[in-house]
Chain A
């Protein structure tokens, strides 16, 4: 499909005009547009766009799904039929969707401090609006932001990024075209501890190359963290500003 397009040309530019280590534009919107959700985030990495709504912690609909010592985290992922260049409906039982939601669940279970909300439920709805590579990365980052926006206590940010390697030169934040052709790794880091909570790779790659791009992705995660942190701070400032004008002391992010 993309055999005629040069992934990395002699001048060191990629097919979309980026350099090797350049990330795509990150757009973060944390302001809910007519959504009743407690937390909301729309995030785009270039042309990949994901929107996440978080409801809760709230009372569980089914008593049987509650835990006596912690909140139940429920994640549902939907991929819009119009999100890729080929229109394709994916049902709820689709293996790929199940895998993404399972991955998200096991990534966020240890991060959310669910023991603070016993017998309750946190619902996370992830909707993929546009796909252009780095789907899992966008889902993870958007979910982190939506959870932070909902005021749910997290132990740390989870920042994910993909990286791949073209013959011997590593690339960051791959588009769909690059992702289809190159071996790639998705790494999610927790910037405060520097630990890695998720690593996935699905293509053949030599161990030494893997080490290189794995470390690179870890570094890039920190850059993404800075962007995400800035967005959360902006949102908080916007919420706090009206309170200050009324002369009330601002007590915290959730005080609205």
Chain B
């Protein structure tokens, strides 16, 4: 069952507010809701929230045999399921249109644009490679789930550290057997497993990433007097008549541009939006870097 679409008064209210250059939550048209990144005790466990939209991304790594046609490359898989937990609009089992869009977009942003250096995940050519599994849980949807999911995934990839391994001949030994036990400084130090204190253990290794793309979604309305809206809220997302999603990194490289149908735009407007996203990506990049640094300083890694 589909939930009812927004009522006519709601619609009129939103559109007339937008016409007066006002957004219902008081933001500027090109302003993103406050971003919060919180990191779990494990490395590669990130909860990202854009306003009330919350997404949890989690990465784990295990060793597998590589695909025979790509013996030097690690494997990355993305698992995302949008459960009815996020919003009553989603059903279990059957993927909704929005879910297809989000999954395909994540696939393009993270896998097709080569974020992770796959060859660096190789342990022993043709025998052993790392398999990274990115799981995305959408905890609550109040608009713009896509940007939030992309940001959470990228930050999780940057936050994650894989165990170090030692290869002697054909034998692979994990020398930092569980990087997830790199714990926050103060509490529960007493019952930490003794693994990291072993004389052979080494610090876990960050993934080698080629670049860090961030995704920005703009919503359009068919009324020409309404300007494009960045980071649409739930109501804006339901009522918009066209979306454009742009994924790009701080080095001014576009990774994905996706505007499938909807209200047609002037070519100049498209380029204007792209250039605006370039500036936003730089700001977001410095924010993410500083949050990651803060988190890392709060953790202890003992290497002996």
Which residues in window 220-250 of B have CB below 8 A to A? 222, 241-242, 244, 248
Q: Which of B153-161, B264-272, B290-298 lies at the binding interface?
A: B264-272
Q: How far is the CB of A114 from chain B (nearest CB, A)?
A: 14
Q: Which chain A residues border B275 with CB–CB below 8 Å?
A: 207
Q: Which of A45-53, A78-86, A99-107, A119-127 lies at the binding interface?
A: A99-107
Interface centre among B101, B108, B248, B260 (most CB of A within 10 A): B260
Taking the complex as formed, is B262 at the interface, i.e. its CB lies under 8 A from any CB of chain A?
Answer: yes
Contact of B261 among A98, A109, A195 (CB under 8 A): A109
Taking the complex as formed, is B92 at the interface, i.e. its CB lies under 8 A from any CB of chain A?
Answer: no
Q: Which of A8-16, A22-30, A210-218, A237-245 lies at the binding interface?
A: A210-218
CB <8 Å contact, B264 and A207: no
CB <8 Å contact, B262 and A106: yes
Bound together, the chains give a CA A210 to CA B100 distance in angstroms of 26
Taking the complex as formed, is A3 at the interface, i.e. its CB lies under 8 A from any CB of chain B?
Answer: no
Bound together, the chains give a CA A190 to CA B261 distance in angstroms of 11
Given A110-B241, A206-B252, are A102 and B260 also a contact pair (CB < 8 Å)? yes
Bound together, the chains give a CA A214 to CA B257 distance in angstroms of 11
Interface centre among A107, A207, A218 (most CB of B within 10 A): A207
Taking the complex as formed, is A205 at the interface, i.e. its CB lies under 8 A from any CB of chain B?
Answer: yes
Bound together, the chains give a CA A98 to CA B107 distance in angstroms of 15
Given A99-B100, A99-B104, A110-B241, are A200 and B258 also a contact pair (CB < 8 Å)? yes
CB <8 Å contact, B261 and A108: yes
Contact of B113 among A106, A198, A199, A203 (CB under 8 A): A203
Nearest to B115 among chain A residues (CB) is: A204
Which residues in window 171-186 of B have CB below 8 A to A? none
CB <8 Å contact, A105 and B244: no
Q: Which chain B residues border A198 with CB–CB below 8 Å?
A: 259-261
Chain B interface residue count, CB cutoff 8 Å, equals 36
Taking the complex as formed, is A194 at the interface, i.e. its CB lies under 8 A from any CB of chain B?
Answer: yes
Bound together, the chains give a CA A97 to CA B110 distance in angstroms of 20
CB <8 Å contact, B261 and A204: no
Contact of B267 among A103, A108, A215 (CB under 8 A): A215
Taking the complex as formed, is A185 at the interface, i.e. its CB lies under 8 A from any CB of chain B?
Answer: yes
B90-120 interface bits toward A, Cβ cutoff 8 Å, 1 = contact, 0 = none: 0000000100110110001000111000000
Taking the complex as formed, is A37 at the interface, i.e. its CB lies under 8 A from any CB of chain B?
Answer: no
Contact of A110 among B113, B257, B261, B267 (CB under 8 A): B261
CB <8 Å contact, A214 and B261: no
Nearest to B248 among chain A residues (CB) is: A207
Taking the complex as formed, is A196 at the interface, i.e. its CB lies under 8 A from any CB of chain B?
Answer: yes
Q: Which chain B residues border A208 with CB–CB below 8 Å?
A: 252
Taking the complex as formed, is A197 at the interface, i.e. its CB lies under 8 A from any CB of chain B?
Answer: yes
CB <8 Å contact, B270 and A199: yes
Given A102-B100, A214-B271, are A203 and B112 also a contact pair (CB < 8 Å)? yes
CB <8 Å contact, A207 and B278: yes
Bound together, the chains give a CA A206 to CA B274 distance in angstroms of 11
Q: How far is the CB of A171 from chain B (nearest CB, A)?
A: 18
CB <8 Å contact, A195 and B264: yes
Q: Which chain B residues border A98 with CB–CB below 8 Å?
A: 100
Given A202-B108, A206-B252, A214-B271, are A103 and B261 also a contact pair (CB < 8 Å)? yes
Q: How far is the CB of A93 from chain B (nearest CB, A)?
A: 9
Contact of A200 among B100, B248, B259, B266 (CB under 8 A): B259
Taking the complex as formed, is A251 at the interface, i.e. its CB lies under 8 A from any CB of chain B?
Answer: no
Contact of A106 among B248, B253, B260, B271 (CB under 8 A): B260
Nearest to A109 among chain B residues (CB) is: B261
Taking the complex as formed, is A35 at the interface, i.e. its CB lies under 8 A from any CB of chain B?
Answer: no
Nearest to B101 among chain A residues (CB) is: A102
Contact of A205 among B211, B253, B258, B262 (CB under 8 A): B253
CB <8 Å contact, A196 and B265: yes
Taking the complex as formed, is A63 at the interface, i.e. its CB lies under 8 A from any CB of chain B?
Answer: no
Taking the complex as formed, is A95 at the interface, i.e. its CB lies under 8 A from any CB of chain B?
Answer: yes
Q: Which chain A residues border B211 with CB–CB below 8 Å?
A: 204
Nearest to A206 among chain B residues (CB) is: B253
CB <8 Å contact, B260 and A207: no
Taking the complex as formed, is A5 at the interface, i.e. its CB lies under 8 A from any CB of chain B?
Answer: no
Q: Which chain A residues border B242 with CB–CB below 8 Å?
A: 110
Q: How far is the CB of B117 from chain A (nearest CB, A)?
A: 14
CB <8 Å contact, B259 and A202: no
Contact of A193 among B113, B260, B264, B271 (CB under 8 A): B264
Taking the complex as formed, is B254 at the interface, i.e. its CB lies under 8 A from any CB of chain A?
Answer: yes
Taking the complex as formed, is A201 at the interface, i.e. its CB lies under 8 A from any CB of chain B?
Answer: yes
Bound together, the chains give a CA A95 to CA B259 distance in angstroms of 18
Taking the complex as formed, is B263 at the interface, i.e. its CB lies under 8 A from any CB of chain A?
Answer: yes
In the complex, besides A103-B261, A198-B261, A204-B254, 18 extra interface pairs with C-beta distance below 8 angstroms are: A99-B101, A102-B97, A106-B260, A107-B261, A110-B264, A194-B266, A197-B261, A199-B244, A200-B257, A201-B254, A202-B108, A202-B256, A203-B112, A203-B255, A204-B114, A207-B248, A210-B257, A215-B267
Residue contacts A-B, CB under 8 angstroms, 12 given:
A102-B260, A195-B267, A197-B265, A203-B112, A204-B114, A204-B253, A207-B252, A207-B253, A207-B275, A211-B274, A214-B267, A214-B271
